[in-house]
Amino acid sequence: MQQTFRLVIDCPDQVGLVAAVSQFLAQHNATIVEANHHTDQQTGRFFMRHEIRADSLPLSLEAFRGEFEPIADRYQMNWRLTDSHQKQKVALLASKESHCLNDLLHRWHTGELHCDIVCIIANHPHLQQFADWHDIPYHWVDFDALGKAQAFSDIEHLLDFYQVNLTVLARFMQILPDNLCQRLAGKAINIHHSFLPSFAGARPYQQAYERGVKLIGATCHYVTPDLDEGPIIEQEVMRISHSDTAEDMVRKGKNCEKQALANGIRYHLEERVIIHQNKTVVFA
């Protein structure tokens, strides 16, 4: 896989901004693989992502950062520059349901998800075998025995220990405490099994069944202290009918969940997502 640097910027929209950045890139002879821009006309905020061939640059990542800083300062940029070869460390949090876990592990195993899955943490022992097969440490955090507070404290220590960059709630059925949500802001992704904002909270398929909707879905979003209210990265839906029971919806919806979650994670890992207020810009 070709090594690239990703330069991701958001800042107040200003004349000369793109010229300054592209001038900088041209001076260093950068070959641009992909470039995306967006201006939010309502808030006047500008968003930009460049993916640059690393071998086209005479600069290291560090040197690039140093030279780019004055431009970033001049335009009051939030920005990041990352190296596609420096894999993010990802922790998967799960419960008993294996479909998202298995799907993510397979995509990771085959190289589609470019990251290091450093551990699986679960509140049940059931999915140990998935971890074993892939030679990934599995940590069963026994919520019943430990109590919620201690259990989450243990999880936090595990995230520290593994120096986790991204925490994925792959149908982890526990609600993260506020302080952990805040700490992981922008670095924790959840899959909710409904097309939010419909059917937030518990048992969304049952809610969907009772309301008699003709479409079900899944929503991949960043975790925030407000349950199921965080910035949405990706959504999938699927047609159903009166002949589908709540159980059929559970089965069918899994396809939506897997795909929305996998796409959301990939976008995040490839630095395609910028959070702005409670929404996302996704350069998919």
Q: How far is the CB of 243 from a copy of itself (least distance, A)?
A: 6
Site for a copy of itself in 253-272 (CB under 8 A): 255, 259
CB of 109 to a copy of itself, least distance (A): 8
Q: Is 29 among the residues that bind a copy of itself (CB under 8 A)?
A: yes
For position 235 contacting a copy of itself by CB under 8 A, the verdict is yes
Please list the residues that pair with 179 across neighbouring strands. Answer: none
Stretch that binds a copy of itself, among 80-88, 167-175, 179-187, 212-220 (CB under 8 A): 212-220
Question: Distance between CA atoms of 109 and 100, rounded to whole angstroms?
Answer: 14
Q: What span, in angstroms and rounded, lies between the C-alpha atoms of 167 and 13? A: 32
Among 12, 74, 133, 182, binds a copy of itself (CB under 8 A): 133
Closest to a copy of itself by CB, 148 or 279: 279
60, two tokens = 């290291």
- Residues in contact with a copy of itself, total (CB under 8 A)? 66
Q: What is the 3-state secondary structure (H, E, C) of the chain?
A: CCCEEEEEEEEECCCCHHHHHHHHHHHCCCCEEEEEEEEECCCCEEEEEEEEEHHHCCCCHHHHHHHHHHHHHHCCCEEEEEECCCCCEEEEEECCCCHHHHHHHHHHHCCCCCCEEEEEEECCCCCHHHHHHCCCCEEECCHHHHCHHHHHHHHHHHHHHCCCCEEEECCCCCCCCHHHHHHCCCCEEEEECCCCCCCCCCCHHHHHHHHCCCEEEEEEEECCCCCCCCCEEEEEEEECCCCCCHHHHHHHHHHHHHHHHHHHHHHHHCCCEEEECCEEEECC
Name residues contacting a copy of itself, limited to 85-124 (CB under 8 A): 98-99, 102-103, 106, 109-110, 112
β-pair partners for 274: 281
Select from 23-31, 84-92, 150-158, 182-190 the region that touches a copy of itself (CB under 8 A).
23-31
Residues 138-197 that bind a copy of itself (CB under 8 A): 195-197
> What is the x/- site pattern for a copy of itself, positions 215-234, by CB under 8 A?
x-x-------------xxxx
Name which position in 152, 162, 172, 199 contacts a copy of itself (CB under 8 A).
199
State whether the Cα torsion 152-154-155-159 is positive or negative. Answer: positive
Kindly tell me which residue out of 12, 26, 43, 69 binds a copy of itself, with binding defined by CB under 8 A.
Answer: 26
58, 135, 144, 211: which one contacts a copy of itself (CB under 8 A)? Answer: 211
- Residues annotated as catalytic are 228
- Residue found under tokens 């430990």: 146
Residue 23 in contact with a copy of itself, rule: CB under 8 A: yes
User: Which positions from 33 through 52 interact with a copy of itself, judged by CB under 8 A?
Assistant: 33-42
Single residue of 3, 12, 16, 74 touching a copy of itself by CB under 8 A? 16
- Contact residues toward a copy of itself (CB under 8 A) are 15-20, 22-23, 25-26, 29-42, 56, 98-99, 102-103, 106, 109-110, 112, 129, 133, 195-199, 211-215, 217, 231-235, 237, 239, 241-243, 245, 251, 255, 259, 278-282, 284
